[in-house]
Amino acid sequence: MLKRIKIILQLLLLQLSARTQSIPFEQLPFTNPLLTEFDSILHEQARTFFKKSKAPGLMIGISRDGEKTFYSYGYADSASKKIFGPGTVFEIGSITKTFTANLLLQLDAKKIITIDNPLSVYIPGTGINDTVLSKARLKQVANHTSGLPRLPEGMDKVEGYTMMQPYAYYKKEDLYTFLLRMKNLKPGNYSYSNLGFGLLATIMENETNSSFESLLEKYIWKPLGMENSYINAGKARADTATGYFYGKPASYWVFDCMAGAGAIKSNAIDLLKYLDAHINPDKTQLGEAIKKVTEPLHTISANMQIGYGWHTLENLKHRITWHNGGTYGFSTFAAFETLTRNSIVLAANSSGVNAALDKLAIDLCILLMGK
């Protein structure tokens, strides 16, 4: 209880300090040329976003049938007044899950992993007849219908844990111990699971004897020419944004076995290459995996479905395929639409502004689709 009270007090103090750092929209630098009607509408939507959030900066990347446009507002770093550029690296958060799912399907196609296999095949200490872990299959983990919880219990109890680095010290052994102690698992319904995608990456590492990052490099980043995407903080580029947690600089998250849930760092240039590959799958080496990864598999609500990692929205003029992300320093959104051949990526360097960023992203998607 005392620990919980201490954390709440820390958050309240951070919130109070954050209020003093807001900059009026009219004083923010921006790169929007304001030459077209689209530019002007986007500018007003960005104004609304900054009224609703305290993010220091915002980057918007748009691809229309392969033609790229980038809009920057505010600062990638408040202290140095560095501008957010299309090459500025940030944490993409849970958009990572779409990469994890794509990689899983590629390894399945190569028969290195079988997505129809139950979890019990891949967890040390279990057999295929394990009464709990045999209930869910890898493909159910990849579309959030495995029944696995959002996070494993006890993450905050592992040695070294800190509030600002929740994933850094959680190891494979901790994950296996949690899974082997599970008393029940009920697959079938949609239930978003960071644990599940961390587990998928761990399984892929085990089955290939390669790191998750090296698998991403081999199967996705290198084929698509994504030269500024990475996981290991030691690979950080000079042009890197600072993330903010309630107005204070936040270190990038470090991951161990949970990397598949949200460990990737990238920039708007690389992410548009990735999104455009989903619009033109046959022009890439990832074609078959992309076609499968975006296929809706499970209905979440009247207007939303889930594929492998990717979600879809059906109540717009056309179906958009999307995922958002959030860390303690960044809020992000990525989406594409195949009929109009548009894709979009947004990043704000602040935690807790996902609702405002999601609203901005959907509004821009509607604008791009001409609804």
pLDDT tens-digit map of 302-353: 889 999 999 999 876 778 999 999 999 999 999 999 989 999 999 999 999 9
- Given a cut of 80, whether residue 2 has pLDDT beyond it is no
DSSP H or E stretch at residue 85? none
What backbone phi and psi angles, to 5 degrees, belong to 241?
Answer: -75, 155
pLDDT tens-digit map of 266-286: 999 999 999 999 998 888 888
Check: CB of residue 199 under 8 Å from CB of residue 140.
no
Which residues are CB-neighbours of 39 under 8 A, at least 6 positions away?
32, 33, 71
**pLDDT band of 111, cuts 50, 70, 90:** very high
Provide the 8-state DSSP code for 329: S
Give which of 219, 210, 215, 254 is closest to 234, Cα–Cα.
Answer: 254
Neighbours of 265 (CB within 10 A): 26
Residues counted in the chain: 371
Domains and CATH numbers, the chain: 90-369 (3.40.710.10)
**pLDDT band of 129, cuts 50, 70, 90:** low
| Per-residue pLDDT, 128 | 64
Residue 360, sorted as left (phi over 0), alpha (psi -120 to 50) or beta, turns out to be alpha
Is residue 210 packed enough to be buried (19+ CB in 10 Å), middle (13-18) or exposed (0-12)?
Answer: middle
Strand order in the sheet with 298-301: 82-83, 67-77, 57-64, 342-348, 331-337, 320-326, 311-313, 304-306, 298-301
Check: CB of residue 248 under 8 Å from CB of residue 14.
yes
- Given a cut of 90, whether residue 32 has pLDDT beyond it is yes
- Given a cut of 60, whether residue 67 has pLDDT beyond it is yes
What's the average model confidence in pLDDT over 184-198? 95
In terms of pLDDT, which residue wins out, 192 or 21? 192
CA distance 26 to 6: 37
pLDDT tens-digit map of 281-309: 888 888 888 889 988 899 999 889 999 99
Give which of 182, 173, 172 is closest to 131, Cα–Cα.
Answer: 182
**What whole-number percentage of the chain has pLDDT above 90?**
77
